[in-house]
Amino acid sequence: MPSSPAPRAIQATFDDLGTALHDVTFVVVDLETTGGSAQTDEITEIGAVKVRAGEQLGEFQTLVNPGLPIPAFISVLTGITDRMVASAPRIDTVLPAFLEFARDAVLVAHNAPFDVTFLRTNAQRLGLPWPGHQVVDTAHLARQLVTRDEAPNHKLSSLARLFGAATTPDHRALHDARATVDVLHALLGRVGNLGVHTLEELGSYSARVTTAQRRKRFLADGLPSAPGVYVFKDAEQRPLYVGTSVDIRRRVRTYFTSSEQRTRMAEMVGIAESVTPIVCATALEAQVRELRLIAEHKPRYNRRSRHPERSVWVKLTVEPFPRLSIVKEVRGDGAHYVGPFSGRQQAEQAVAAVHEVVPLRQCTQRLSPTKRVSACALAEMGRCGAPCTGGQTVEEYDAVVLRASAALCGDAEPFVRSLEGRMAHLAEQERYEDAGALRDRLLALVRGAARAQHLAPLAASPEIVAARRAESGGWEMVCVRYGRLAGSALSPRGTDPMATVESLAVSAEVVAAPTGPAPAALPEETEKILRWLETPGVRLVHLEGAWTCPVNGAGRSRDRLEPLVRAREQVSGFDEPHGRLLSRPPKAVRSGV
Catalytic residues: 171
Contact 526, 515 (CB under 8 A): no
C-alpha distances (whole Å) from 39 to each of 35, 36, 42 are 10, 9, 8
| Amino acid at site 335 | A
Whether the upstream peptide bond of residue 340 has omega within 30° of 0, thus cis, is yes
Contact 38, 51 (CB under 8 A): no
Contact 109, 28 (CB under 8 A): yes
φ, ψ of residue 108 to 5 degrees: the values are -130, 135
C-alpha–C-alpha distance, residues 515 and 459, integer Å: 9
Q: How many Å from the N-terminal Cα to the C-terminal Cα in the chain? A: 74
C-alpha–C-alpha distance, residues 44 and 216, integer Å: 50
Contact 106, 133 (CB under 8 A): yes
Contact 423, 439 (CB under 8 A): yes
Sequence-ordered list of residues with C-beta below 8 angstroms from that of 548, at least 6 positions apart, any chain:
457
C-alpha–C-alpha distance, residues 556 and 451, integer Å: 11
Q: What Rg do the C-alpha atoms of the chain give, in angstroms?
A: 29
Give the helix/strand (H/E) hosting 399. helix 394-409
DSSP states along 446-505: HHHHHHHHHHHHHHT-SEEEEEEE-TTSSEEEEEEETTEEEEEEEE-TTS-HHHHHHHHH
φ, ψ of residue 240 to 5 degrees: the values are -100, -40
Angle between helices 173-193 and 156-163 (to 10 degrees): 60
C-alpha–C-alpha distance, residues 127 and 138, integer Å: 29
The candidate with the shortest Cα–Cα distance to 245, out of 224, 273, 269, 270, is 224
C-alpha–C-alpha distance, residues 176 and 51, integer Å: 15
Phi/psi class of residue 573: alpha, beta or left (left: φ > 0; alpha: ψ in -120 to 50)?
Answer: left
Angle between helices 138-145 and 173-193 (to 10 degrees): 40
Tell how many helices (H) and how many strands (E) occur in the chain. Answer: 21, 15
